């Protein structure tokens, strides 16, 4: 399965989903739609998911062309991205990220939405830079960061818009491990196979319990959140 920017391949019982839009790997409507279709398919035929970018790029955030097109366009795109991140956060199968490069703004939010994050040891940037470019961090992004980023670094990572190297990002909570760039995909696949072997309903139910409060609050505040975005 593929779209222009999202490719899907089933390897044994792991769905390998790759984002490559040929540019910055931004979250456009096409990428979001492609990722949703990939998750729908993975739900029925895979025991785990690997989500990867291309070399040097994981995800650069929301598509700036759409974000600058107007309030309505911005709201529609960000709301679609929020629902995608929630879907990943609640997904009943393990999602392992192969963070192959830069992960900024919504790209960093995607990292906080997934279960295990393997980063490539490269000179790339990871973090929530919204405040640095004059934007408030959406509630859904803040709450996902709160759930994953080390508590004593949360203010620095959000309000101070600090950007991290992969090794720093592993200390902060954006990543779980950092490996050589040529090993990142293989390590992510191995971790996905390991997590995919965990049996249901134990795995999916326990994951739901761990994340229930965060999901409830995000859903409860989503309309208010999007009104501010618009």
Whole-number Å distance between alpha carbons of 160 and 218: 22
Confidence band for 95, pLDDT divided at 50, 70 and 90: very high
CATH of the domain at 203: 3.90.226.10
pLDDT tens for 32-87 read 999 999 999 999 999 999 999 999 999 999 999 999 999 999 999 999 999 999 99
Asked if residue 175 has pLDDT above 80, the reply is yes
Q: Are 130 and 160 in contact (CB under 8 A)?
A: no
Strand partners of residue 103: 59, 126
Q: Is residue 90 part of a domain?
A: yes
Asked if residue 3 has pLDDT above 90, the reply is no
CB atoms within 10 A of CB 151: 8
* Side-chain half-sphere CA neighbours of 82 within 13 A: 25
Share of the chain above pLDDT 90, in %: 96
What confidence score (pLDDT) does residue 2 get? Answer: 46
Q: Is residue 18 part of a domain?
A: yes
Looking at residues 18-41, what average pLDDT do you find? Answer: 96
Looking at residues 177-197, what average pLDDT do you find? Answer: 98
Kindly calculate the radius of gyration of the chain based on its CA atoms and give it in whole angstroms. Answer: 16
Q: Is residue 25 part of a domain?
A: yes
Q: Is residue 188 part of a domain?
A: no
Asked if residue 31 has pLDDT above 60, the reply is yes
Exposure string for 33-47, b = 16+ CB within 10 A, e = fewer? ebbbbbbebbeeebb
What confidence score (pLDDT) does residue 141 get? Answer: 98
Q: Is residue 32 part of a domain?
A: yes
Tokens of 207: 């994951």
What confidence score (pLDDT) does residue 230 get? Answer: 72
Q: Is residue 1 part of a domain?
A: no
What confidence score (pLDDT) does residue 114 get? Answer: 98
What confidence score (pLDDT) does residue 129 get? Answer: 96
Owning domain of residue 123: 6-183+196-229
Confidence band for 10, pLDDT divided at 50, 70 and 90: very high
Residue 10 phi/psi, 5-degree rounding, is -95, 115
What confidence score (pLDDT) does residue 229 get? Answer: 85
Helix (H), strand (E), coil (C) string for the chain: CECCCEEEEEECCEEEEEECCCCCCCECHHHHHHHHHHHHHHHHHCCEEEEECECEEEECCECHHHHCCCHHHHHHHHHHHHHHHHHHHHCCCCEEEEECEEEECHHHHHHHHCCEEEEECCCCCEECCCHHHCCCCCHHHHHHHHHHCCHHHHHHHCCCCCCECHHHHHHHCCCCEEECHHHHHHHHHHHHHHHHCCCCCHHHHHHHHHHHHHHHHHHHHHHHHHHHHC
Task: Specify the pTM.
Answer: 0.95
Looking at residues 183-188, what average pLDDT do you find? Answer: 98
What confidence score (pLDDT) does residue 43 get? Answer: 97
Q: Is residue 79 part of a domain?
A: yes
What is the number of structural domains in the chain? 1
């Amino acid at each position: 399965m593929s779209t222009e920017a999202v490719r899907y391949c089933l390897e044994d019982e792991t769905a390998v989903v790759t984002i490559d839009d040929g540019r910055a790997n931004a979250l456009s409507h096409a990428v979001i739609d492609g990722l949703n279709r990939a998750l729908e398919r993975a739900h029925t035929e895979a025991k785990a998911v690997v989500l990867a970018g291309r070399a040097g790029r994981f995800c650069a955030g929301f598509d700036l062309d759409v974000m600058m097109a107007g309030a309505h366009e911005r709201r529609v795109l960000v709301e679609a991205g929020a629902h995608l991140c929630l879907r990943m956060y609640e997904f009943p199968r393990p999602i392992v990220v192969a963070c192959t490069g830069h992960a900024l703004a919504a790209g960093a939010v995607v990292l906080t939405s997934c279960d295990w994050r393997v980063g490539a040891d490269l000179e790339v940037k990871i973090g929530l830079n919204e405040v640095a470019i004059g934007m408030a961090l959406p509630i859904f992004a803040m709450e996902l960061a709160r759930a994953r980023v080390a508590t004593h670094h949360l203010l620095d990572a959000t309000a101070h818009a600090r950007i991290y190297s992969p090794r720093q990002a592993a200390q902060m909570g954006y990543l779980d491990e950092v490996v050589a760039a040529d090993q990142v995909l293989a390590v992510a696949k191995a971790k996905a196979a390991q997590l995919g072997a965990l049996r249901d309903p134990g795995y999916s139910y326990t994951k739901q319990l761990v994340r229930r409060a965060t999901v409830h609050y995000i859903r409860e505040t989503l309309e208010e959140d999007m009104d501010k975005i618009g």
